[in-house]
Amino acid sequence: MDLFYRGVSTRKIQEHFSAFYPHNSSHKSIYKWIIKYAKAISNFTDGLKIKVGREIQMDEMEYRRRKQRDRKGVDKNWFIDVIDCQSRFMIASDYTKSRGQKELKQVIKNVKEKTGEQIKVITTDGLQGYYEVIKRVFGYTNIKDGYVKHNKVNASKGEGFNIMIERLHNSLRARTKTFRGFHGSIESANAIMKGLAIYYNFITRHQAINCCPYELAMPELKLNSNNKWLELIQKSKGINNLISM
């Protein structure tokens, strides 16, 4: 998993294994492990309490996914995500077929469930669907009375630039640009992106905060070894069933 999320393809990982282990695994098995453990770790981390600052930024990225694994044709999909400006922690995300109000609402609803009453400013771009779903999730009265502010920034109009989430997107693009259509499955695409969120939040140190985002957003979570992937798997639910694969 660490090799994959650092930019190595499953076939190259297989070649790496073959140089050190006589009984090697196929690239398909490696791919299945990535999907399996990304889901398992996400089930664990999604249930943890998060400490965030006053402002979050929400945005979406366009992706092209093969409609089917072994056939031509692509679908335009979207990765919707939310980042905490204080800790740089990616609070919630989802890989979806569209970016309508239903999909936006599900992501912002996950943010509200994880953060409670901590958030006071929600910054987005000019996409019209954001305002309505934010009002529904955080409450019409809270928005009207100013307890929660929707800060809409349109860079094309010179209103500013959501630099923190755009930096995050640059990091995600650097890794996903080599993906070959997410293997044609919306489910696998979502699982792969969940793993990438884990890598971003829990594995890599960020220069701006000089630590991993989880260290600020989840101070009660202690990962003591250099192999944080293994620690997260061990802390995940159903670890005994996973190990006996």
| CATH number where 211 lies | 3.30.420.10
Instruction: Say yes or no: 176 and 231 in one domain.
Output: no
The per-residue pLDDT for 144 is 84
Instruction: Say yes or no: 124 and 198 in one domain.
Output: yes
Mean predicted lDDT score pLDDT of the chain: 87
What is the percent of the chain where pLDDT is above 70?
89
The per-residue pLDDT for 145 is 85
Residue 36's Cβ-side half-sphere holds a number of Cα atoms within 13 Å equal to 12
Q: What's the rounded mean pLDDT across residues 212-222?
A: 94
Instruction: Say yes or no: 122 and 237 in one domain.
Output: no
Q: What is the pLDDT of residues 66-123, one digit of tens each?
A: 766 666 667 789 999 999 999 999 999 999 999 999 999 999 999 999 999 999 999 9
Residue found under tokens 């009984």 = 23
Q: In the 8-state DSSP scheme, what is residue 225? A: S
The per-residue pLDDT for 183 is 63
Instruction: Say yes or no: 92 and 201 in one domain.
Output: yes
The per-residue pLDDT for 185 is 78
Instruction: Say yes or no: 84 and 107 in one domain.
Output: yes
User: Which helix or strand (DSSP H or E) is residue 132 part of?
Assistant: helix 129-138
Q: Are 136 and 105 in contact (CB under 8 A)?
A: yes
Q: With a cut of 70, say whether residue 174 has pLDDT above it.
A: yes
Q: What's the rounded mean pLDDT across residues 25-41?
A: 90
Instruction: Say yes or no: 66 and 11 in one domain.
Output: no
Rounded Cα distance between 83 and 57, Å, is: 5
Instruction: Say yes or no: 62 and 182 in one domain.
Output: yes
Instruction: Say yes or no: 84 and 163 in one domain.
Output: yes
- CA distances 110 to 46, 62, 91, 92, Å, are 9, 21, 8, 6
What is the percent of the chain where pLDDT is above 90?
55
Instruction: Say yes or no: 34 and 99 in one domain.
Output: no
Q: In the 8-state DSSP scheme, what is residue 127? A: -
Residues spanned by the domain of 32: 2-46+223-243
Instruction: Say yes or no: 41 and 96 in one domain.
Output: no
Number of compact structural domains in the chain = 2
Instruction: Say yes or no: 92 and 213 in one domain.
Output: yes
Q: What is the pLDDT of residues 147-172, one digit of tens each?
A: 999 998 876 665 666 889 999 999 89
Helix 27-45 to helix 228-235 angle (10° resolution) is 60
Q: What is the pLDDT of residues 176-197, one digit of tens each?
A: 877 765 666 788 889 999 999 9
The pTM score is 0.87
Instruction: Say yes or no: 63 and 26 in one domain.
Output: no
Bridge partners of 121, per DSSP, are: 55, 149
The per-residue pLDDT for 240 is 43
